[in-house]
Each structure stands twice: as C-alpha cells, then as structure tokens.
Amino acid sequence: MTQPKTIGIVGARGHTGQELIRLVAAHPGLELAFVSSRELDGQRVADHNDGFAGELRFESLDADAVAAKGADAVILALPNGKAAPFVAATDGAKPDTVIVDLSADYRFDAGWYYGLPELTRAQYAGQRRISNPGCYATAMQLAIAPLVEHLAGPPQCFGVSGYSGAGTTPSDKNDAALLADNLMPYALTNHVHEREVSKQLSLPVEFMPHVAPHFRGITMTVNLWLSAPMSRDAVKALYEARYADEPLVEVIDDAPWVSRIAGRHGAQIGAFTMAPGNGRVVVVATLDNLLKGAATQAMQNLNLALGFDELTSIPH
C-alpha cells in the first residue's frame, strides 16, 4: 500500500483551518502531520474538531519549525502579510513541498499558480507554490467568466458575506451585536478582491463588499452590460456550457439563496435576469466562503498537485 502524503496546516484555529482539518481527515491518501496554532498549543485536535480522531495536538510552530517538519504539503491559513517567512523557510529546507497559501500574499505573483480550478486548471503545470483565490473573488470570477467576451464595460459586483469571512480576531465585522439587524458596507473601492479579479479576468471589475448577520456564505449579485443584446436563453446557455463538466458549479434557473449553499462545497449561479432591451443582465452567485471560498478550493488544489483525483474527500 502506498504511503499517505503528509500535510501540515498553519493557522489551524480559524474557521477555515477547522474545515481543512475535516477535509484532510476524510482523505484516504493524506495524513495530518501537524497543526500549528499559537492559541491552542498543546490541546488535542480531536477536542476542537468533530471530524478528526486521534491524539494529534496543536503546536505553536514558527516558520523554521514548520519547515523542519518536512511535510509533503503545507497549507498556510494565515492573515494577509504573514506567509513570507514560512515560504522562505520551506524554500530553504524542502523546496519541493507543495505550499497552498490562502492569504492574498501571492495572488499577484507570477511565480505562483493561481488555483481557481474551474477557470485555471489548464494553467497548472506541476507548480509547487499555489495561491488560493479569495472567497469573494471566487464568486465574482465564476459569475463573470462565461460572459467576458460579451461585455461592454466593467461588471459591477455587490457582495454580501457572512461574518465568518472576517475571521476570528475581534472586529466590527464579526461582532454579532453590531451586526444584528444590520448590513455593514466596507472597503467600497480598491478592495484586494477587486484588484485580484480585475487582474485574473484582464478587465476592470467594480466591487462593493458588505457583511451581514449570518455566519457563513456569500451572495454575489453582478450587473453586466453586454456589447450586443442577447436573449436570456443564450446567456444561460453560455454558463451551462462553461460549467457542464464542473461538479462543484451548479447553474440554476432562479436566483440562488445563501441559506441553501451554507455547508455545501460548491457554488450556485442563477437569476440571469435581463433588463428591457436585453443589453444588460444580472447574475447571482452563491458559495460558502469557508468551503468553496477557501478550504474546499485548497483541497482541490492539493489533490491536483499531489496527483489525486481533484474531488477526493470533497462531498459533491
């Protein structure tokens, strides 16, 4: 029997880290070698995660300690701006380690593969450094990509996320009391995901993010001006053709609801509502920001890099 590939998670205390632990635990070809968390140092992983069994404990590991573990793959689930020391240490100790970085730190680095499999899989050529897309950015790109060749101007994207997207460090954006009966706009121009999507799709995109009182899930409502009028059927057919072979992207007729995507590993795209004259269409995409927006996508990328079927351990 082939030896399982070893994997470590850095930043495992966060919401995404917990989802990653579940996905790795369910994977027949992966073994969780270490989980690093300063706050949970010494505590059993199984006491904090219902998807994991065993005696493995959280450790507080700096970059050199992570590199010294010599794992086959490392997932960095850290806040923006924290990845570089871990990448540098791993480059020095074991450069063939697969690193999947969930932060924005390498999304603009041409030396890294940008892993949104449904759109960039053909560009994967064995790279060991993989940048995981942002959650909002995944929803935007899936909603816009089939129409890129037919657009007359920048897509306008109104995004709403559950507060788990704001992480576990206390802030206004994850304060349940402040969010109650509220919708909180923020970073209304030049958001990092606006820049990310504009770069990936090679067209300017306008994005206005908001946080809502629900815990998980993103709704992305996208307004698209067309270069020539199209029928609703023709628009929807472009999406159905683009995602026909993608088990994690479901094209539906109605506008999808975030309550129906929470806890699921894929995305839904629907609505396809035409304005009078058929020169403008509104498309709605939903996904779980912790899953297809983060952990599920990281597992797709890991499977691709380590030679497994892309959907191994991902319910679909």
Residue with tokens 């709403």: 160
> Measured between alpha carbons, how far is 311 from 156 in angstroms, rounded to an integer?
31
Catalytic residue positions? 135
DSSP 45-70: GGGT-TT--SS-BEE---HHHHHHT-
pLDDT tens across 88-98, in order?
999 999 999 99
152 SS3 class: coil
Q: How far is CA 24 from CA 42, 70, 121, 176, 284, in A?
A: 20, 17, 21, 30, 31
Dihedral of CA atoms 127, 129, 134, 140 in degrees, nearest 10, equals -20
pLDDT tens across 178-230, in order?
999 999 999 999 999 999 999 999 999 999 999 999 999 999 999 999 999 99
Task: Evaluate if pTM is beyond 0.85.
Answer: yes
Contact of 306 with 98, CB cutoff 8 Å: yes
Q: What confidence tier does 171 reach under pLDDT thresholds 50, 70, 90? A: confident
Q: Is the pLDDT score of 12 beyond 80?
A: no
For the residues 49-69, what does the mean pLDDT come to? 96
Where would I find the H helices in the chain?
15-25, 63-68, 84-93, 117-120, 135-144, 176-179, 192-201, 232-242, 296-306
119 SS3 class: helix
Nearest-CA neighbor of 71 among 119, 10, 117? 10
> pLDDT value at position 167?
78
* Pair type for strands 280-287 and 218-225: antiparallel
> Measured between alpha carbons, how far is 292 from 297 in angstroms, rounded to an integer?
5
For the residues 22-29, what does the mean pLDDT come to? 97
Q: Is the pLDDT score of 307 beyond 70?
A: yes
User: Residue 25 carries which side chain, given as an amino acid letter?
Assistant: A
pLDDT tens across 222-267, in order?
999 999 999 999 999 999 999 999 999 999 999 999 999 999 999 9
Across the chain, mean pLDDT equals 96
> pLDDT value at position 1?
63
> Measured between alpha carbons, how far is 216 from 14 in angstroms, rounded to an integer?
13
